Amino acid sequence: MIPPYSRSQADALAICTINAIGTSYFLRNVPIRPATRLFTGEAIWCLLKEQMPAKKITVGRAELAGHKTDKAIIVVKNLVKTYPPDIKAVQNVSFEVKEGEFFGFLGPNGAGKTTTMNMLVNLVKKTSGTVTVDGFDVSTESNEVYKRVGFAMQEVGLDETATAREMLQLHGRLYHMSRQEIDSQIAKLLKLVELERVADRYASTYSGGMRRRFDLALSLIHKPKVLFLDEPTQGLDPHARQLIWGHIRELNKQGMTIFLTTHFMDEAEALCDRIAIMDTGKIVTSGTVNELLQKHQAKNLEEVFLKTTGSNLANEEVNLKATDPYVRAR
Amino acid sequence: MNTFINDWYYLSIRNIKQIWRPLLALIPSLFIPIFFFAVNAASLSAFSSLPGFPNISYKQFIAPIAIFTAIFFSAGNAGIELVQDISSGYFKKLVIMPINRLAIILSKLTEVAVQSVMQGAIVTILLLAVGVKFNTGFLGLLAMFGMLILFAMAWSCIGMIAALRTQNARLVQSMFVLVFPLLYLTTSQSPKELLPKTFATIASYNPVTYIIEGVRALVLSGWGDPKIWQGYAVASALFVVMVTLTLMSFRKALK
């Protein structure tokens, strides 16, 4: 039976106990060096630890725990983005995301996913159409929207001259949270993304995986209702991807609505309740994974993707031109 | 605390920390003015014996330029830091927070002001140590820093505008070269009366001349010199115009 200790206490206690027992009894007659005995103790502890459930860390709003409703928390109607002279990056896009839903937004490079996502948080001004998040219009009530959304972007934007803790504290302050609230949320978030040990190191020293995990923590400091994730596992190795998947799955279980864009079909298939596929600035199909497989008579999501998107590199070029600051400045 | 003040305060703290992270980055903007002061004061000291030169040593004449140059050089960092934030994506994070966007710009200007005071104070102490005298005393020093801070903030806006409009680090860094024509096409090295006619005309159209003359008046003359209020007027006008243009670029950057 597992004693009611915290994980770290139990860890230390078990290592000591197992090593003591190992040294004094089980391995007493075995002609091995003390270091080997220690290793044996650690190995046994690792096996035990895997069996022990980690304490659940709630970083979202407690009132939302396990919350899934039919209420549409993101409502997008006839959204259009045109860059001069006449580059149609997003064309008349409409969709809804329900509260507590894990929504996947897929599409080839240059399809307009990131532009659409940026318009959902008013980072890019829409040409026409309406977007509301939790009932607030992103154009006219953007501050209310910002209080409710977290955004982990494709480019992990960190302040390289600050430590993780400093950045989390600053962001907490900028969301106008109290000092106690910030400290408690920082402790939970660092634990969630397993960065407690490096919290006081400069962000410039972090590996790619650590940066992604920290970026996720940063986007959660203010307990957002909706989390936007733009290619959150891009460039990560399979272990780091699994770790991020675990974190965002847990957040969704806690009632957070997740809006994910990704290129990885397995990621979308494993995580999302519902998926929309975008190509050349339009949504070409949407539904649950099963609905999409049936509708397009496909074996897997990748097949659905290939059948519905006939995009080519020229579209990517169109979007590149549209977002190029030199072109935009003209 | 009012939310605007809160945002300005915490963003300023973040920016001010960047001044000495890394500490080595402070050295060039301190070294260059001290180097030019030492070299010019030694090699051009004979200038002071020319007819028409004020009745002071050349070292005393160019002392205000050393303080001005220290501030001029350091103010360019705001644009570089901003373009770094933009290219890393950190700027976007700030933009999608429920904070007043003016606070983002003002916090950068606060950083410039703090850095100006720090670097200007170090150079001032060194100048005092080598025997430079400030005729208007401690109050004059405060007035001089006030004028220089206004100008430094206005100058830093040029880098920030370039950062917001182009988002290109190389271009923002290259704005640094503007320092030289703006500084040398003035009365920084010689009184206007001793400049060739063409240079004297250019200097009279260069706003930096009025700041230099204002600072010089505070160091060498007294409170009655009209160049002091002229310097303040030009610095204030530049500040208002440049901050307005920066805010306009900020809005444009988000379209």
Read off the amino acid at residue A312: N
Distance CA A195, CA A211 (A): 10
What is the SS3 assignment for A121? coil
Read off the amino acid at residue B201: T
Suggest the residue from A174, A178, A205 to mutate for an interface test with chain B (most B CBs closer than 10 A): A174
Distance CA B29, CA B146 (A): 19
What is the SS3 assignment for B99? coil
| Nearest residue, CB atoms, B255 vs list A125, A146, A174 | A125
Residues with pLDDT less than 50, chain B = none
pTM of the model: 0.78
What is the SS3 assignment for A245? helix
Q: Which residue of B has its CA nearest to A178?
A: B1
- Contact of B99 with B85, CB cutoff 8 Å: no
Lowest average pLDDT, out of A132-141, A157-166, A311-320, B86-95, goes to A311-320
pLDDT tens, position by position, A98-116: 999 999 999 988 889 989 9
pLDDT tens, position by position, A233-264: 887 788 878 888 888 888 898 889 999 998 88
Which range marks the domain in which residue B37 is found?
Answer: 3-253
For chain B, the domain total comes to 1
Q: What is the sign of the dihedral through the CA atoms of A134, A137, A139 and A140?
A: negative
Neighboring chain B residues of A124 at a CB cutoff of 8 Å? 254-255
Whether A37 has a pLDDT exceeding 70, the answer reads no
Q: Which domains does chain A carry?
A: 7-51 (no CATH), 62-329 (3.40.50.300)
User: What pLDDT is attached to residue B152?
Assistant: 94
- Contact of A64 with A256, CB cutoff 8 Å: yes
Shortest Cα–Cα distance, A33 to chain B (Å): 47
